[in-house]
Amino acid sequence: MSEIPSDLKYTSSHEWVRIESDGSVTVGISDHAQDLLGDLVYVEAPEQGTEVQAKEACAVVESVKAASDIYSPIDGEVLEGNETLADTPEIINNDPYGEGWIMRIQPAEEADMSSLMDAEAYEALVASETH
Amino acid sequence: MPYIPHTKTEIKSMLDAIGVESIDDLFDEIPASLRAGDLTEVPVGESEMAVSRLMHERAAQDGQSLCFLGAGAYEHHIPAAVWELTTRGEFYTAYTPYQAEASQGTLQLLYEYQSMMTGLTGMDVSNASLYDGASAMAEAVLMAVRANRKSKSKRVLVPGTVNPAYRKTAHAIVHHQGITLEQLDYDQQTGVLDINKLPTEPGDFAALIIPLPNFLGRLEDLDALTDWAHQHKALVIAVVNPVALGLIKPPSEWGEKGADITCGEGQPLGIPMSSGGPYYGFMACTQALVRQMPGRIIGRTVDLDGKTGYTLTLQAREQHIRRSRATSNICTNQGLMITASTIHMAILGEQGLGKVASQCHANTRSLVKQLTALEGVSLLFEGSYFHEVILRFEVPVKDILKSMTAQNILAGLDLSEAYPELGNCLLVCATEMRSEQDIERYAKKLENILLRNESVKCPIKPKW
């Protein structure tokens, strides 16, 4: 069973979202997602200043099996992409909720967080997809 | 076992689903006059001797024209070994096999091809080829728009000196994705882009295309153009004639940082002109852009026993995995063509290719010298060229070409359609294949035709 921290929010496309104290959000992919993808070989994190919309593809993670889009969980502006992933993409496999974060986003004022899932709902989603 | 994929019942049910009566109804858009009709009988067999005779007669109808025509396809010497080896059973396939790793010989050949192309262009990586030069340029445009992370623009700047057919093809392929190819006007005095007249505020654009040589035969200011594009955070796409790289510095050395993507037509490297195809396109890029490059890439690795092996690599963005979000949904490689090219390059070697390029240039110089010595023929642009130049005439070239063709000489390309602003101009080319006698023959015939035209203009008055 993959790890699903209870203090994070999740999307149905397997991103996790942490709402930081300064109002920004940090985004990565779940332990379940990294497990499905297998060994990551390349990550294309978004550039700082990129405007993103909820459910819009804004980053790419590539494993030996497939290149997959990462979708922004909310509307906003990219504050920072995780530069260290360019040389060491495997940190997503090793630490998906910590060092393996992908981007930080400043949510737009009207950004809607209510559609994000809590850990329990996400766990149910993962369970339904694996059966 | 009959190789018929569908039963009558299945065909009927498919026709019912789309609401037509018969398979013939699917072709009713084709006018009856253009249809071949039914094949009622097959003629009686002929002997091998009779068939070869017929085929020779048919082939002779093509004529054995002396070719001074270039404009994108070039007649070069192809050593006999090239196609002798290429058409051996072990190589004789058009594609990368679907069970690729079972065909180590094919993969090794593709790997060698890629290595040679990177050597030739100076780029870090090459793919295993594309359809042709024009579609390779279109793929390079798509790739540049995807890859340029400093620009979200879908504008790509294209000099008016890029092959018009390439511009048309690229437009057809990219415009449905919202990408615009914006033309940069060339200087009509020099036939190249004037670096001092480039837009000072070009706005955000994803890439600049730089042709080498350009379609007018001229050599652009490669360094200045490359640096200009990079200063504006745009990528540089080099569209090069691979034979020209035997003499001219590779795109990786243009300007301070070098071109980002190099593409072009591979035909001059061992592929016969054969009425326009099949040819192949090549594409190479810097390491930084490798994941945006479309097409097959072959890598070398070792197996469990430590033995060298070859494998398809970086496939994660290809269409069989990524479907509509793949780097390209229209590309393949031209396996057979690049087999020939790889053998061709291996036989020539770096020195051989350099010699071919030098001889092309020398022959073109000789052609220019002999033709411009004629009354009414001059060189349009001063300055450097590779193996193609524009000659200016005082009369329209259409009739001259017609007369030359009647003498079995393909004298060049009439530019009046693609470049009407240049006037009566002919694009001519002499590769290493054109001997001094060939050039003399061209000059002699042309002189006769020009004199005849002259005499029509000033008729001799009858004495009585």
Encode pLDDT of A9-40 as tens digits. 999 999 999 999 999 999 999 999 999 999 99
| One domain, residues B252 and B107 | yes
Q: Is residue A3 part of a domain?
A: no
Domain end point (choices B315, B344, B373):
B344
| Closest CB from B149, B150, B316 relative to A66 | B316
Q: Is residue B383 part of a domain?
A: yes
- Reading chain B (464 residues) residue by residue, the pLDDT tens digits are 567 788 889 999 999 999 999 998 998 899 988 988 888 888 899 999 999 999 999 988 877 899 999 999 999 999 999 999 999 988 887 666 667 788 898 899 999 999 999 999 999 999 999 999 999 999 999 999 998 877 789 999 999 999 999 999 999 999 999 999 999 999 999 999 999 999 888 889 999 999 999 999 999 999 999 999 999 999 999 999 999 999 999 999 999 999 999 999 999 999 999 888 899 999 999 999 999 999 989 999 999 999 999 998 888 788 777 777 788 877 777 889 999 999 999 999 999 999 999 999 999 999 999 999 999 999 999 999 999 999 999 999 999 999 999 999 999 999 999 999 999 999 999 999 999 999 999 999 999 999 987 655 545 555 54
Long-range contacts of A59-64 (CB under 8 A, 24+ apart): A59/A102, A59/A103, A61/A29, A61/A37, A61/A89, A61/A92, A61/A102, A62/A89, A62/B291, A62/B316, A62/B317, A63/A37, A63/A38, A63/A39, A63/B316, A64/A38, A64/A39, A64/B316
Q: Is residue B16 part of a domain?
A: no
Q: Is residue A43 part of a domain?
A: yes
| One domain, residues B331 and B363 | no
Q: Is residue B57 part of a domain?
A: no
Query: What pLDDT, on the 0 to 100 scale, is given for residue B47?
Result: 94
Domain end point (choices B303, B326, B344):
B344
Check A64 against B325: CB less than 8 A apart: no
Contact status of A44 with chain B (Cβ, < 8 Å): yes
Residue whose structure tokens are 């955070």: B233
Residue A73's CATH number:
2.40.50.100
Query: What pLDDT, on the 0 to 100 scale, is given for residue B162?
Result: 98
- Rounded to the nearest angstrom, the gap between the alpha carbon of residue B353 and the centroid of all alpha carbons in its chain is 18
pTM of the full predicted structure? 0.86
Domain count, chain A: 1
> What is the enclosing helix (H) or strand (E) of B360?
helix B335-372
Q: Is residue B400 part of a domain?
A: yes
Compute the distance between CA of residue B413 and CA of residue B434 in angstroms, rounded to an integer. 17
| Contacts with A67 from chain B: Cβ below 8 Å | 291, 316-317, 321-322
Chain B nearest C-alpha distance from A120 (Å) = 31
Distances (CA, A) of B8 to B12, B15, B26, B39, B280: 6, 11, 16, 21, 41
Domain end point (choices B295, B320, B344):
B344
Chain A nearest C-alpha distance from B408 (Å) = 55
Asked if A107 and A113 count as a contact pair (C-beta separation under 8 A), the reply is yes
Compute the distance between CA of residue B37 and CA of residue B27 in angstroms, rounded to an integer. 12
| Closest CB from B149, B291, B321 relative to A66 | B321
Question: Half-sphere exposure (CA, 13 Å, Cβ side) for B274?
Answer: 11
Residue B421's CATH number:
3.90.1150.10
Check A67 against B149: CB less than 8 A apart: no
What is the residue range of A42's domain? 10-115
Mutate to test the interface with B, among A68, A71, A78, A87 (most CBs of B within 10 A): A68
Name the stretches of chain A with pLDDT < 50: none
| One domain, residues B156 and B291 | yes
Domain count, chain B: 2
Q: In DSSP terms, which residues pair with B425 in a beta bridge?
A: B392
Give the nearest chain A residue to B320 (CA atoms): A66
Interface of A with B in 64-123 (CB under 8 A): 64-67, 69
What is the residue range of B414's domain? 66-75+349-454
Chain A nearest C-alpha distance from B314 (Å) = 8
Q: Is the peptide bond before B213 cis (omega within 30 degrees of 0)?
A: yes
Size of interface A-B (CB pairs under 8 A): 22
Query: What pLDDT, on the 0 to 100 scale, is given for residue B318?
Result: 80
Q: Is residue B43 part of a domain?
A: no
Asked if B123 and B174 count as a contact pair (C-beta separation under 8 A), the reply is no
Q: Is residue A125 part of a domain?
A: no
| Closest CB from A44, A47, A69 relative to B325 | A69
Contact status of B321 with chain A (Cβ, < 8 Å): yes
Chain B nearest C-alpha distance from A46 (Å) = 9
| One domain, residues B97 and B169 | yes
Query: What pLDDT, on the 0 to 100 scale, is given for residue B1?
Result: 56
Asked if B63 and B407 count as a contact pair (C-beta separation under 8 A), the reply is no
Q: How many residues does chain B have?
A: 464
Q: How many residues does chain A have?
A: 131
Check B316 against A64: CB less than 8 A apart: yes
Contact status of B451 with chain A (Cβ, < 8 Å): no
Chain B nearest C-alpha distance from A124 (Å) = 27
ipTM comes to 0.79
Chain B nearest C-alpha distance from A100 (Å) = 21
Give the nearest chain B residue to A64 (CA atoms): B316
Contact status of A38 with chain B (Cβ, < 8 Å): no
Residue B188's CATH number:
3.40.640.10
| One domain, residues B434 and B372 | yes
> What are φ and ψ of residue B309, in 5° steps?
-145, 160
Query: What pLDDT, on the 0 to 100 scale, is given for residue B142?
Result: 95
> What are φ and ψ of residue B41, in 5° steps?
-155, 155
Check A67 against B321: CB less than 8 A apart: yes
| One domain, residues B357 and B397 | yes
Q: Is residue B252 part of a domain?
A: yes
Give the nearest chain B residue to A59 (CA atoms): B149
Q: Is residue B134 part of a domain?
A: yes
| One domain, residues B204 and B329 | yes
| Closest CB from B149, B150, B322 relative to A67 | B322
Picking from A102, A77, A84, A83, the residue whose alpha carbon sits closest to that of residue A13 is A102
| Closest CB from A47, A57, A62 relative to B316 | A62
Q: Is residue B18 part of a domain?
A: no
Query: What pLDDT, on the 0 to 100 scale, is given for residue B331?
Result: 73
Check A44 against B291: CB less than 8 A apart: yes
Q: Is residue A55 part of a domain?
A: yes
Check A62 against B291: CB less than 8 A apart: yes
What end-to-end distance do the CA atoms of chain B give, in Å? Answer: 87
Q: Is residue A122 part of a domain?
A: no
Compute the distance between CA of residue B379 and CA of residue B365 in angstroms, rounded to an integer. 11
| Closest CB from B150, B291, B322 relative to A66 | B322
